[in-house]
Structure 1
Amino acid sequence: MLQPHHHLLPLFTFIFCSCWVLNRVVSDPQIYFLTKRCNPYYEFLVSNVTLFDENINSTLRDIREQIGGQNKHFATAEGAASGGNTVSTLFQCRSYLSTADCVACFDVAATQILSCAPGDPGGHVVYDGCYLRYDISRAFFGDTTQSVNSASCGNQTTDQPAAVFTSAVQQMLMNLQRATPKITGFSVATKTQVPNNGPTIYGFAQCIETISQSDCKDCLNASYNNMQTCLPNSDGRAYANGCFLRYSTTSFFPENQTIDITPSFKQGSSNKGAIIGGIIGGVVALVLTFLALFVWIRRLKRPKRAPREDIIGASKLKGPVIYNYNDLKAATKNFSEENKLGEGGFGVVYKGTLKTGTEIAVKKLTFQHFNRMEEDFENEVKLISNVHHRHLVRLLGYCIHGKNRILVYEYMRNSSLDVFLFGKMKGSLNWKQRYDIILGMARGLAYLHEEFHVCIIHRDIKPNNVLLDEDLQPKIADFGLARLLPEDKTHLSTKFAGTLGYTSPEYIIHGQLSEKTDVYSYGVVILEIIGGQRSKELRVDGDIEGEFLLQKAWKLYEKGMHVELVDETLDPSDYDVEEVKKVIEVGLLCTQASAEIRPTMSEVIVLLQNKDLLENRRPTMPVLIEPN
């Protein structure tokens, strides 16, 4: 059922559970998720996937033994070299965590990183409490900011004057930046108070132990610069391959972990020096503020990109195939009605057969605003064509002919998921197949949101846009096409931006678009897959008032009867009741009214595969937007 690394997951499920059983005094492993990336398989071809996975397993076992048995907070390991499948792994948890919390954070990180597809030649995951990375080469032990270099900011501000608070935080972060490389272990926790009885600010800096002092200083300097985007918010984190920097007005480490860092750097000997330093700091802060404003304005003028690191090996990306219009015309029998597979917001799809015998799906796009499409079409298609994932439909190429814009995709013989849920194949999917589709969709969306070098928000996740291959594995279609929409168009004025019944309330009502919009739609599809009922289909049983699917699922969940949502065509002996209840709860977590508390897609993957994690999260009531 669990496809990637299926032979590894049981091990870490056991490890994770045993950790929590044996260490009930665990206070806080700080598993707030920050970022994750799996290196795509096409960046480096692993010669033996099974052996490579075994080597990953070996390094993870080694590291867990080091941090659990030897009370380490930093560890590296290398898998056995055989057939070019060597694996190097690095782990670091924050020095203020207890051994039990460090192990707990590792277990969550290991489970998360094992969700990368088999054969992915590398990956990393960052939490508040720890950082885990593996790769085919140990050369990354010296990386500082090469592939991970970003910041995550809180959304609360203090009641202090912004300039005073910002200055105090900047001074503390600069002190940490100067002191940390000089301290054994490259790790410092400190605190300071904002002048005039202001709040206490807690700060922490840490570098990995495989880099030099100068590299540590450079990494923290980059993180300090990234952190400026968070001020004057009350908390912020900056993270990179080689270091981690955090501040907050709320304590996040034990009081006895703070140290006096003043001996680590020279103090000014006079008030004059302090004044000059203050002036310089103020000027630097002002310049950084203007630079941040300039970057922000520039970003508004171009397509939205995720605030995350560039993809490794981006220079290796290849352009899509350019097809001849007459060849596509012949392949689809002149775009005949008999070859028509379906029609959606973006255009009509036809089945085609090339002269070579290769079957393809040909989508003739329909846009009202041709000028914008003409400007951006080739660039956007090149971007989309480089999205490669086992759970995303592969874009093979395109064709431009006059005002025709055509996309050519791989052909899926089993059509779309809606046919198996609501159409002529209704009732033919067993529980394992449904679970695999739910998990596969999560992996595809996580790649679009968090692992590709540009964040791609789908905007229209629904069963019609989930195709099934010959093994009934899901492949999400039409991703990236929303990027071709004119930027001045909103969700209210275009038919392309979503489907009622699947679209999140914040997008429908306020036009607020984020990855959490897709998470909401995905949650609705989970409930459809389990219930075998369309989300917008009103069900009336006898004298009972009709209910939409989301409304029905929530009411059953409140009564502890959510397993009654299960499609009646499923054989009760075919599924585990507790597993079904868990998946329904994940669906409800995804459809919560507040976008902020919905999980990310990478968190969804972990939740689906680990029952214990779900016990600490309870869904809140969704908002029902009735599709009229």
Structure 2
Amino acid sequence: MASSLFIIFFLTILPLSVLSATVLEDLANLTPPPDFTNTITQNCIRNPLLRYCNNTSSSSPMDIVEIFRSTIVASHLCNESKNPNCVESFPKIRIHSRPKTAALYLSFDFFWKYCPLTVVEIDLVNNSLNSEFPTNVLSCAQIRTLDLSYNQLSGFVPVQNLTGLANLTRLNLSYNRFSEDNKISDSEFFKRFNASSFVHSGVLPDAKRYKVKVLVLLIVFPITVILLCFCLGWMCLKRPDYLPRTCRRSHKFTSAMIDAATDEFSDQKLVSKSGGVDIYRGTLRDGTEAKIEVYTEKVSKEKRREFAEECEAVFKLRHKNLVRVLGWCNGRSLRALVTEWTYGESLETWLNSSLACSWRRRLRVVMGVVDGLFYVSEHWPEVTLGLSTSSVLLSDKDQEPLISQFKIGDGNNSSTNIFNFGLFLLEMITNLRPDEAQEDSDRRYLEYIRVHYPDNLERVIDEKMKVEERTLEKVKQGITLGLMCTDKPPLKQPSLTQIYDLVVSLYESSSRHH
């Protein structure tokens, strides 16, 4: 309250009717009230830091009339500067494009001598001030901002006086007619306020050098920012893999990322083509090798939405018998599922090796596949698994089977998964596969096995297993289970629980006979 004494005191001791008068009329007609001296004295006792207290001494007694006139000017100037609440505060002096008003207030030396301590900003912009630097404003030593731009000020800039303003952080003397002063470049002043404070002011000792800096600031810098924004936007939309991991969604792949990972879908990266799915072996930007399943069929917007939902589901799959899904791409021109590349041979290759001879070894692989299938049915029933000896891999580390193919958009129901498992189980026992080059290959394959069922199953069982008489019945039970799973209509299919229990039973019995 004490720091805004000028205005408060003036408003409380004068009738409100006089406030409508001009500052010149008030200065000419108003005189200090009788108790003004006593009030000023008491204020100085309570707050000796008030500026009119600091400007008095025993040799120069307090000029009561001058202090009173300062309160009048302060009140008018606070309102002229459009401060929101002049009764409580007076933070800024702001007069723009009003030459006569600015010149009038600059002429009141007594006001600047007792400048209110609340003033922290002085803006006298575009007022055509045709004079030397108005040094009287520097009496407001507490100011943080001083803007005298777009005037016609001339002469030298009072560098030493400005340097003494400890709180001054923003200075703008641009677009004036000051004279060059080498002191600026030789002092800390220029380091404190850079060239943008003196654009076309006349004070820079090397105008050309600073014109280049201004050119960089006003032209090159914005262009650089625009280019950076363009590059950042391109990375966000096209190649987010260039961004730090914390700034991108690692599971979302763009067409450009897939294109780069597959070397523009080169033949060298192509692994296989079947059923509208092209499989590539790609390398992501961070060096991760991945299997990329590209779906070539064109689909509607609704189908793409369903595809995204299904990808969200498979991305959450976490099981030792499932290859981990890294992400997907769901653009208008490209749909793809990205999974980790697993080192290991396919079961199709493994079945032709000596390691896959025994019935028990094959059942152990089937157990792993059933575990993965059961996990999916419990947690993500909308996911359809691609089960075949060519799509299930055997990991190099622990010989665990890994289901590596997730058929997106193929019906997503448990019946399809059970049917696929039935075909897979029959392939594991017979080491025979449907001929995908033929139409209706699955039906032809199943008909071939049923022709020999149940009396001549020895003719379809893989002879490399060398099945003994005591295990032949168990192998036949496995074939029976496979045919039951591929029965149509699906109502005849066994449930996943029944499948799981039967496979476990077959595996345990094989362990006892081993």
TM-score after normalising by structure 2: 0.43
Greater share of helix? 2
User: Higher relative CO (CA 8 A, sep ≥ 6), structure 1 or 2?
Assistant: 1
